Amino acid sequence: MIHQVRVIFGDTDQMGVVYYANYLRYFEASRAAYLRDFGKSHADLDAWGVALPVVEAHCRYRQPARYEDLLDIEVDVTELRGASMRFGYQVRRDGALLAEGFTRHAVIGPDGRPRAVPPELRGLIESRPRG
């Protein structure tokens, strides 16, 4: 799925380009949009008794984004394991690839210990057609 973000002035550095760490915020926003696309939210994760903390993040920067750019962030689950998952991202402006990356997430229960991906979440992810 694709989530759009408009670059605000506060996202840019003194050179007028998007500050590198803000791409991780864009990744987070696109993960939330991914859940919303199923009619779900982080509240549903709570109801299922899990949290998805980021345990690894990576971003490769190819071209700069600037103030007022409209970015398309493509997000998908690229790996689904027993108690972890990986989201992949591609950030584009007018079709041009600006950045790509991933975040890996543990699936944990309220006690902080690993838990299996809830069947409800697994079913949603597995129902999405792959590109």
Short-list 17, 59, 39, 44, CA closest to 119 = 44
Report the alpha-carbon distance of residue 131 to residue 126 in Å, rounded: 13
Q: Is residue 13 annotated as part of the catalytic site, yes or no? A: yes
Catalytic residue among 11, 13, 69, 76: 13
Q: Where are the alpha helices (DSSP H) in the chain?
A: 22-37, 42-47, 119-127
Range list of β-strands (E), 1-131: 2-6, 54-61, 70-80, 84-93, 96-106
Other beta carbons less than 10 A from residue 11's beta carbon: 21
Catalytic residues: 13
